[in-house]
Amino acid sequence: MTTVKESAKPAPKVAKAAKKAKVASKSSVTIHGLSPYVEKKNEEYMNENQREHFKQILKAWRHELMEEVDRTVTHMKDEAANFPDPADRATQEEEFSLELRTRDRERKLIKKIDKTLIRVEDDDYGFCDQCGIEIGIRRLEARPTADLCVDCKTLDEIKEKQLTGG
């Protein structure tokens, strides 16, 4: 007869398979085609390897955005037509307008990426602009252009909500 404790343990093969799946899912997650940074024990924060890792992420992200700009230009040239039906013309204009707004946001993001790349070069990357503490590797991988730590960003958002009433 088995006890509750014994039956609660997963079978060894099942536990190994689950562990392998967890490792495989972590390694398959990429950030703009690059694997997440693996920190070494007692490694100094924002050392040369980490800065190089983030520089690669930022450049890959910038490259993706620039390719999207090129695709939009090509798409708009190829798809531009003078439809006789006003509804078709309006639909096309709305699609183009939406695409241009998206590209405008991406253009601003490219500028922010460029500024961040300069910060990486100047060894000023990875530290909060307001309080000076480490932003953290995982936060920077989630948002490579982050310039505030989680606490300062949260305070900024609270202040903004109070000012705008939203």
Q: What is the pLDDT of residues 107-155, one digit of tens each?
A: 999 999 999 999 999 999 999 999 999 999 999 999 999 999 999 999 9
Per-residue DSSP letter, 123: T
Token digits for 127? 């530290």
Counting DSSP H helices and E strands in the chain, the numbers are 6, 0
User: What is the CA angle 15-21-24, rounded to 5?
Assistant: 140
- Each domain of the chain, given as residue ranges in start order, spans 46-125, 128-166
Residue 27 is predicted with a pLDDT of 47
Most confident residue range from 12-16, 22-26, 64-68, 112-116 = 112-116
Nearest residue to 111 via CA among 164, 44, 65: 65
Lowest-confidence region among 19-28, 139-148, 156-165: 19-28
Termini Cα distance of the chain: 61
Residue 120 to residue 45: CA distance in whole angstroms? 13
What's the one-letter identity of residue 141? E
Per-residue DSSP letter, 9: S
| Residue 152 burial by Cβ neighbours in a 10 Å radius (0-12, 13-18, 19+) | middle
Superfamily (CATH) of domain 46-125: DksA, coiled-coil domain (1.20.120.910)
Q: How confident is the model at residue 3 (pLDDT cuts 50, 70, 90)?
A: very low
Q: Give the three-state DSSP class for 134.
A: strand
CA 6 to chain centre: 43
Residue 82 is predicted with a pLDDT of 80
Residue 89 is predicted with a pLDDT of 87
Lowest-confidence region among 19-23, 27-31, 46-50, 53-57: 19-23
pLDDT digits (tens, 9 = 90+) for 47-99: 999 999 999 999 999 999 999 988 888 888 888 778 888 898 899 889 999 99
Q: Please give the residue that has the higher pLDDT: either 29 or 143.
A: 143
